[in-house]
Structure 1
Amino acid sequence: MLIGPRIQSTSYLIKQLPTLTVFIDREFKIMHASDKWLYTFGERSNTIFGQCLFKVFPELSIKWKSVLNECFEGKSNPMGVQIYEQNEQKKWYEWSNTCWFDENENIIGAIIQINDVTEALKNELELEKTKVQLKQQSEISKTGRWEYDIINDEITWCDITRSIHEVSQDYVPRLDTGIQFYKEGYSRNAISMAIFEAQEKGKPWSIKLQIITATGKEKWVLAAGKPLYEKRELVGFTGTFQDINEQVVANIETKKNEKLLRTLVDNLPLNVYVKDINSKKILVNKAECEHLGVKNEDELLGKDNFDIYDYETAKRFTEQDIKVMTSLVPILGEEVISTDKKGRQTTYLTSKIPLLDGQGSSTGLIGISLDITNIKQKEKELRNLIDVTSLQNKKLINFAHIVSHNLRSHTANFSMLLNFLQHEEDEEEKETILNMLNSASNNLLDTIENLNEVLAINTNINLKKKDVNLFDSILTVESNLKDFITENKGEIVNKIPQKQSLKVIPQYLESILINFITNGIKYKHPDRNPVLSLKLSSNEDYKILTVTDNGLGIDLNKYGNKLFGMYKTFHSHENARGIGLYVTKNQVEAMGGKIEVESEVGAGTTFKIFFNEKN
């Protein structure tokens, strides 16, 4: 009578157990189960009681029968972990057992308790996954771990740390021997100081150092560590050890190549620069700095064309940059002229080459330019010299023809007169012939004097230009020609500023002024008094003296190409010799100048004398 109620009470208590619990007899039949067990596995009725456990859970391992049989014999063992899927959700449960005794201490079955270990297993798997990933990352980055236990004086290296040191896997490191691996000098001193500061001040470290491995190889490593404390007491150190030899060696080699390239670029006799996609300079060499008048590259980096050149030059250069970077077609050896902010002009031979990335897109350009300003100046000077030489050669040929013609004429005249004299018997006729010979002799002397004057102009290279006051020079010539001017009722209008000077050969200027003033008066118009006006103007290359008269004028269509020829006359004036303009033109050209003429018959003539003060 007592047993019945007792079993019912026990069954009621089992139902209320907070754990997943099931009771089975020695035939594996389910006898009791907690409500939580029934609810978890989807069984709310009593239909499972009396059924075999392995029939209710057919997925259970058959090996668990032997485990339960051992439990029936008094040996309780863990059964294992079993997966259970419900509503497309998988969960893992750990099964364990203990003996089920009756009131006489007889084993009548087993009590099975089930624990949900899903989260634990997930965490364990995640932890294992993390360990694998850390190991892979450690192997890829060649980073090992180490720890040092101060209390037990033990240092622990992982496999990768041993591999970096090139020691065997059974190598037992010590703190002192570990430090000895560092290269003597800076590296060993640095790691010793780092450990000392960590011990004394709690300061962590991360230093790039060199070690010498067990096989004698030098390696660059990144040694990092930090102190460990328990209850504020230092108990050890932990850290990482990374092999960075390849990166450091590659970086050193890269820097060496960069230095070599920079040395080469800086010492090229060319202006070299690199621009980004916005046409801003990101690299310049020394030649570019010197040319643009800056002390170092920092004054040019980040600047564009508008920061360096005047607006028009900057606009032209920027359009050129954009064209190169968009078309990807380089510009090679193009001659360009630039003007900087100060107005200084420079002529370049420039090349611009697009910089491309891995996808073939432009990221900027490389510019190379050669300053050819001096070369162009020399070229211009050489061209001028060739022109002058050619002109002088023509003059020489013309002079030779003149000399040949004139001397031959005088020689023939002398020969003829001497022949007459030789055969003439009449004394009066002889006297006449002698007078003619005397006149011919004077004419020959005049010719030789004229030729000598022209020759002196073209061969005298020792005469130097000097600053001469033009206004005063005109007054001096006017004073010297006063009687001649007064006799011809001439008037000189001097419009030259009183302090105006010219850089000329003084004796040539005087001769030029005399020739133009005397000609302007000599060839006056019969219906009016001669008036000469002199004024001065200038352009980029010359100062221009303009001499205007109101005389007879010259038919330039008829005589223009002969105007400055030797012994060329254009008016029937008794004193016209045809030598003045020829000599004047040679004097002007000898000073690097030129003469232009405008004339109208009957109205007068204007001569423009261009004085070149630069050469």
Structure 2
Amino acid sequence: MNTKKAFPFKLVDNPFPLVIVDSTLTIQECSVETLAFFEIDDSAQPMHLKELIGESYKIFLESTENKKKQIETISIFSKTEKQRWIRTACYPDITNSHFHIYFDDVSDEISQYELSMRAKRIAKIGSWKVDLVKNTLIWSDITREIHEVPNDFVPDLKMAINFYKEGKHRDKINNAVSACMEMAKPFDLELIIVTAKGREKWVRAIGEAEVIQGEVCGFQGVFQDIDKIKREQLRYEILNNRMRAAIEGANIGIWDWDIEKNDLIWDENMFTIFGIDESQFKAAYEAWESVVHPDDKENAVEEVQMALDGIKEFDTEFRAIKGCGSIAYILGRAIVFRDEEGNPLRMVGINQDVTKARIKDIRARRLLEVMEKQNVKLTNFAHVVSHNIRSSSSNISMLSGMLLDNTSNDRTLEFIEMINKSAEKLEETISDLNEIVKIQTTDSLDLYQIEVRSVLESVIESINALVVESKAEIRIDIDRSLRVWGIKPYLTSIFLNLLTNSIKYRSPDRKLLVNIGVEHSDNQTVIAFNDNGIGIDLKKNGQHLFGMYKTFHSNKDAKGIGLYIANNQMEALDGRIEVKSSVGQGSTFYLHFKK
């Protein structure tokens, strides 16, 4: 009759094999995946760890006594007598009364190494015999081959011992041979020899005494070349040690939440991750919730609830406020164990501190944002330089042409004076560009009050040739007392772009008239530039009006830069541009400045 006790509940939908044992290694709970992993029927649930891994269970007695985590790789045989290699990890819970043991099949990883080991154990095995009565030493051919000596080489005991590498290897064989001669004590050692050709080689020396009438009269044994096997073994040990260090150094904490009892168990790594004193920890769900960052709490709690509702697995990242007040980025993953009716009973998972990786990512993103902003500023500055200097240089070039074509001495002085003024305005433009460079290197703009009319008059003077050549009439209906908040180089550039656009897109059927006026509201000053030019089809082009390289007429001098620059500079001044236009009648640009 089967007298095994029934488990409190069955752990279902578990993605990994897991058992929970007490200090005697008696199984308290066992996941369904564990039963499948060890080829056990559901009706025959194991009661002790020995039933799963045989005599290997003894290695975990140390863990239960010391209450420390333990990671081991063990060998078992399946029901079909197939050897399996199992990596096990044992973790005590916070009460130190129960232990979580996880299993992982690593047979494929180790099989190649084990096959190599078994094959090489039957190869390159020589023999030797010492006769203490005759004081002779006999080596087999394979033993000579291992030592890399000729077939006719005749050794003695001292010479044989001197083949062992000087230091601990030679000392060990000396001690073993002495103990075998004096006390008939057998030996089995893995040591390094230095062959006759000067090569270091790992060998296995096995010996036992030959005793006659209570006296040791000699000893004999086998000698095996294990160099390749040993070096592979040492390499494997190094890799295994690295793996252990990686597991322990990954800063991963394990937690177990009993939903019905609201008991939350943390391992010691969890307290380290969250910077909480174990003695101050309230073992309940609310204790975890209390350390989640306020900005992330709603989402984290929602993720837990969705996992309990079976909508999705708990797999999220959140920030936590550690005991010292610092912020940590935590990666959380968990599975929910349910009863037969699907009700959630407990939740088991891990938390990993990924703060360093997230900080690096945040810094990289911030640096990228800064670089992108600087690139935009650099591009805008290049356009400003190109557009504004071209306007001034074109004006000087036009005046020079007028001067060369002029035949009247009276106008010669007028043109020379206009050229001098244009040159002065070009110097001012370059000076303004230098100020723009300084502005571009700062994150914020310091606005100040600017007299609007003087800036307008200066801009008109800088394009005097264009005004004369186009026969444009520019009327300024703005009082000298009017001031707006801004930056002079930006205001100059905006006015320059609007005026040169009016001249560039004037109507061939009538004289160009530009009226510049002002309107006031409670919180804004609006400067209006109205012209009677060819106008813009806003239904067709309104959405692209301020785009870079967008042109709306066939004018050969159109570059599609002026309005793009003006709009960017108005936005930088916390203002905006509004446009009204009719094809064939003209356009009005409204510059809105905050008071």
For Structure 1 versus Structure 2, the TM-score category normalised by the shorter chain is 0.3 to 0.5
Q: TM-score, normalised by structure 2?
A: 0.35
Higher-Rg member (1/2): 1
TM-score (normalizing by structure 1): 0.34
